[in-house]
Structures are given as C-alpha cells and as structure tokens.
Structure 1
Amino acid sequence: MSSNTSSSDFQGWVAHDPSAADGNMQWGSYTPKSFTETDIEMQISHSGVCGSDIHTLRSGWGPSNYPLVVGHEIIGKVSRVGKDVKDLKVGDRVGVGAQSDCCESCKPCKMQQESNCSSNTGTYNSKYANGDKSYGGYAKAWRGPAAFAIPIPEGLPSEFAAPLMCGGVTVYNPLVTYGAGPGMRVGVVGVGGLGHFGLLFAKALNCDKVVAISRSSSKKADALELGADEFIATGEDAEWMNKNAGSLDLIISTVSGSFPLDQYLNLLDVNGTFVQLGAPEDKLPSFSPFALILRNLKIAGSLIGTRQQIRDMLELAKKTNLQAWVQVRPMEEANQVLIDFEKGLPRYRYVLTN
C-alpha cells in the first residue's frame, strides 16, 4: 500500500468562473473528498475531453459549483486503497467515467441501472453523500469510491480506453438496449466525438446496415472508414428525407444543436426508435404526433451507462480491436485544447495525458 496522499497534494486545472470554458482554467491545488476505507486514489495518466466538460465550465446547463475540476474519462493506476476495498490493489489500471457514486437504495440502483440513480454523484461538479465536492480528471490524481473504478482489460491502450469511459458507453448503452446487432439497420446523427463511437460500435455489433447522417459530406470519408455503409448529407440533397424514408430501425442522435426531429423520424421504419444522446442547452424542436402514431415509433433518451455496460463495452472494444480516433495532448495544454475543441478541430476525441 502506498503512502497516503494529502489533500494539499491534489493539483489540477481549476475553473473559478464561466470564463474557464474559453481557456481560462488555472492550474492549482484543491481539496478532494475526504478519504474513506471504501475509496481509492489513482495517479492519472489519461483524461478524455468531453463536450460535457465545456457545458459545465461555462454553466451552460445551469450554474456550476465553482471552483471545479472537470474531466470524467479518467484512466490511471491505483496508488492508494482503502481497507474495505476487496477487488482492487495498488498498481491496477482502472478507469472512472461520468458517475462516481450512487445511493444503492433507489429503484434504478436496485435494478442495476445506477446511471439513473436519483442521487447520482457525478465525477465532477457534484457532491457525495457526506457533502464533499467531487473533482474530475484534468489533474494529477483522483480520489473517490472504488466501486466506480473499472479495471481496464490488458491489451486495451489507455488513450483508447479513456474516451470510452463516457463518450463510448454513452452510445454503447442505447445501441445494446435497443437491440443493435444482426438484422438491425442503424443511423447515427452527427459525426463527432459521440457519433464516431456510434459508427464504431454499430459496426462492432455487426448491424446489417450502418448509416452516418450529417449536414454536409465533409466527413463522409471518415464516416465510411469508421464503419458506415452509407452516408446522408442532409444539407446537400433536398430529397434526402424522401429517398431514405422508412430505411432504419434505430437512430442514435448525438448532436447538441438544433435539428429537424420530424424529418429524422421519417427515416424510421415501423416500430423504430429514435434515441437522443446529445444534450442541447436549448429545447428540442416540436414535431407532429402523427409521425409516432402511424408507425408505432418511440422517442427515447439515454444517460451514460452502467458499470456492467462499461465492463462489457471494454471487453467488446478489446475483442474487436476497436480504436477510437483520438489526438493525445499534454495535460499542460488543457486550456488550448478547450479552445481547439470549441473550434471543432478534434478528430474525434482529445485525450490529455500526464
């Protein structure tokens, strides 16, 4: 067991106000949650950059609790283990995603659906049951409940594993929940950080047809390389909706901006499902209920994924040699990475490394 890490040893990129989203995070010390015997500490090697980080930094989803440290796609090696932790040891490589604690007693938790826990503790900008704040992975170290630290399979590179912990499982969850696999025709709206995972996993799950949907064909070559069989550029063909009507069984929407929901629904066949993953800061557009009624369609939402889904996803990624398209950047460049992210430059995930 390693020597204890004192609270003053925790250093990371601290956000003090919404301007942090513009590349104004400050490197400094912070006080993590108090260590308990069910916790671990890890020395962070990799931390993925997620769109949620930007929304939270700028208080886009409501006022954030500053100061805060974002980052919830964290990979590292365990450096300290509480006495009550039975399944992890110092030196193990683990990952932590967007959730770091749950109540264990509400209905979702009892259903092993803890990602929908009524008292979900987010890995950052949240509070644990004892009132301590949670801090994320743009840092040197992380401290939190061992129950949410997932072992990373041997042979799965950390730079690929990091963005899987949130971005990957966010698309993996609805794909497997709604039956993606042989016989299924799947569309992925948006070829970005989440969307590129949607294409990779739909292909890895052996879906009959995988269709990438984007406004322009600028990313068509990438989409086909990622596993798409077809590409729809909605801004370049006025007849795209009619040409592709009823051609899909499942649509995964990863976009966070405005989009024509009623037109996407027209792409679904009878009993089809539209799942929204992207979390816009504005409301979704209105649509006609007849689009749902006439073809028995469903509109659903999905939030991250459970710990078991993360484990299953990591095994699938290892088995199929699934490789996220990542650009690894030094942790000290985090502020510039945020600026580059907002410019839409990542292809398709940034990963910070210590």
Structure 2
Amino acid sequence: MTSPNEFHGWIGHDSKAAQGNLTWSSFTPKPFNPIDVDIKVSCCGICGTDIHTLRSGWGPTHYPVCVGHEIVGHVVRVGSSVTNIALGDRVGVGAQAFSCLKSDCEECSSGLEQHCPKMVGTYNAKYPDGSWSMGGYADYVRVPAHFAIKIPAALKSEDAAPMMCGGITVFSPLRNNGAGPGKRVGIVGLGGLGHFGVLFARALGCESVVAISRRRNKVDDAMAMGATDYIATSEDDKWARKHSRTLDLIVSTVSSPDMPLESYLRLLRTNGTFIQVGAPEDKLPPIAAFGLIGKGCKIGGSQIGSPRDIEEMLEFAARKGVKPWVQRRGWGGECCGWGDGGREGEVSVCAC
C-alpha cells in the first residue's frame, strides 16, 4: 500500500463554496514528515464547521480549502518515527491535526492537546512549516499520527466517522461535568451534535435526559434516541417557569446567537452548569448577573476532546452499542461524498 504525490478532493475556492460550488480537483498535501501517516479515506462526516469555514463565517478562510474532519479510513503510509499505528490500521481523524506536544507545554503535557496554543485544525490551518492543512472530503488525508485514532472493531466506519467531531464535542463535556446516574441533563438543539448528546447522556445512565428545541417537530425522534422529556421553547407556554430548577447540566449545541440564554439558566438547579459547544458566528446574548449569582450557576465552554478522550469515547460507544443516526451517500448523492454509490467502505456519512 502507498499513497500518491497528489491528492484529490472537493475544493472550495471562495465563499460561494458553501452554496455547493465545490470542484473535484487535485491538491498537494503538506510535506510528509517522519511523524505522519497517510490515510485512504473511506468515510467522512459532514459537520457544521465545514459550512462556517466554506463561507468564511468565523473569519477569512484560506482558499483553496478542502474541508471535512470526521474522517475514517485505512493507513497506507507510515512515517519512520510512528510507533502507535501500522499499515492497514483503520483509524479516525477529528477536528485536530497537530499540537506542539512539548513537555513544557502546559496543555499538551496535561493531555489537553485540543487547547494547545499551537493547535492546528484538520483543515484551513497552518502547520509550523507554513503548509496548510486539508481535510477529508478527499481520497486521502495526511496528518501526524498522534491525532489518528484506531477504531474499535465493533464500530462500523460510517458510525465512527461522525463521532470524531460531533460525538466527542458532546461526550467530553458530558463526562467532564459529571453526567451519569442521578444526574438530570438537558441538551439544547437536536441536530448532529444534539442527537449525540441525547444518545451519550442516556448511555451514561443519566436519571433524565431532556431534549430542548424550538419546535415540537423532533419530539418523536428525541424519544426514540432516549430522551425522557422534551421542551419546545417557541411552542410550550411558560416553559422556563414550568421546568425551573430541574436540570443539573445543560449542554448547548446550537450555533445561533439567537438563544434564550437567561431562560436556559432558569432550568438549572443550584450549582448547575451550562456548557456551550456550538459556535455562533456572532456573540452570545447578554445575561443578568443574578441569573448566575442566585443559584451559584456556572457557564463554560468545551472544545472537542484530546486524542485520549476520543479513544475513551470510541471504546465507550463500542461497549454500550451507541449508534448514531446517519445518512449514507455515495458520489453524486445529496451530500458531498465519493465512492461507487454506497458500497461498504466507500461512502460518506452525515449525522441527521
């Protein structure tokens, strides 16, 4: 097995790329280093970050760009310094492709590589040598091996792919904020991230899992995923008062700044925690200080997870049988993808 000198992928050339204006084109990957691996891509999930990046929503994007950071494939080239991965291994890559990994880096030395000041994203980010990272809407991807995670045999590739970003983005704050038996958890938003939030909160054994969305059109899906209750903020009368002081933890997955943040805080019990993981292109709404002071509530954020966190999540998902809701699309389908129309191992996936 080997990899070509030129990779091919769906390339965005300007902000109109977010409207579907992508071209299947060749590109030169970053220089291959002894710490790197090349991966032949078999599945790549579709993440909201892809759209934000394609349209320069979070700031100017470096075009041309190949997005996609929920990647699963098989290793076809291994650098001379790589010891944890072998040719043929099935691995996944999430939203991070590099950090300094130096012993004097407070974050890397603590297993918090995702917060390293020199963190490099899997696409639209510059490596220390000046080359730019390119993602998984492609036939191959090249990344440092530290950020390629082996996939447990019990997980199908199309199920593991969206876990590499969407899954870890909610699993990490749930685990780090005590989600488990006896805890009451709310998940704001029921898209790709939110549906993982419900699935993982239920699998972690939470006493109650409340799905929170604007309308009630997703209530049946939420219950099928394991939610125990449902709040429709634009349709349920006086929902904040009715459900006041009922939740220990809220994980917000929405990426719109138009959210009733103060009302969400009313749902928290004393010493409750609100964690934002969705990343709006504008600022979050203001809140009154007494919304925090009155109950000793905390507001925080969470960014993906470390390689070790991803390993733990994949092992947990395999053990508990956590299976995301995905749509499979081959080349030419409704979603960006590649392959021969959906053969096993040749599909792209996106979380519902």
TM-score by shorter chain over 0.5: yes
Which residue identity lines up with residue 222 of structure 1 in the other structure? Answer: D
Which residue identity lines up with residue 278 of structure 2 in the other structure? Answer: G
1:207-218 correspondence to structure 2 within 5 Å: 207-218=206-217
Aligned residue for 1:351?
349
C-alpha offsets along residues 149-203 of structure 1, whole Å, 9 cap, x if unaligned? 0000012000100000000000001000100001110000011110000000000
Aligned residue for 1:240?
239
Distance 2:84 2:233 in 1: 49
Distance 1:220 1:270, change over 3 A: same
Instruction: Note the C-alpha offset of 1:330.
Output: 1.3
Structure with higher helix content: 1
Aligned residue for 1:266?
266
Aligned residue for 1:297?
297
Distance 1:107 1:53 in 2: 29
SS of 2:107's partner is helix
Q: Which moved more, 1:303-312 or 1:100-109?
A: 100-109
C-alpha offsets along residues 254-291 of structure 1, whole Å, 9 cap, x if unaligned? 11111010000000000000000110111100111101
Structure 1 length normalisation: TM-score? 0.93
Which residue identity lines up with residue 58 of structure 1 in the other structure? Answer: R
For the 8 Å contact 1:265–1:274, the answer to whether it is kept is yes
SS of 2:335's partner is helix
C-alpha offsets along residues 123-146 of structure 1, whole Å, 9 cap, x if unaligned? 000011111110000000011101
Aligned residue for 1:59?
56
SS of 1:72's partner is coil
Q: Percent identity?
A: 53
Aligned residue for 1:341?
none
The number of equivalent residue pairs is 336
1:31 is aligned, of 28, 38, 49, to 28
Instruction: Note the C-alpha offset of 1:31.
Output: 0.7
1:1-354 correspondence to structure 2 within 5 Å: 2-3=1-2, 5-8=3-6, 10-105=7-102, 106-257=105-256, 258-333=258-333, 336-337=334-335, 351=349
Which residue identity lines up with residue 244 of structure 1 in the other structure? Answer: H
Instruction: Note the C-alpha offset of 1:332.
Output: 4.0
Distance 1:154 1:22 in 2: 36
Distance 1:155 1:210 in 2: 26
Distance 1:76 1:237 in 2: 44
Which residue identity lines up with residue 54 of structure 1 in the other structure? Answer: I
Structure 1 residues without counterparts, runs of 5 or longer: 339-349
SS of 1:40's partner is strand
Distance 1:172 1:48 in 2: 17
Structure 2 length normalisation: TM-score? 0.94
Which residue identity lines up with residue 92 of structure 1 in the other structure? Answer: D
Hey, which bits of structure 1, 4+ residues long, moved more than 4 A? none
Q: Which moved more, 1:13-22 or 1:97-106?
A: 97-106
Distance 2:193 2:145 in 1: 27
Distance 2:59 2:142 in 1: 25
SS of 1:236's partner is coil
Which residue identity lines up with residue 264 of structure 2 in the other structure? Answer: Y
For the 8 Å contact 1:169–1:313, the answer to whether it is kept is yes
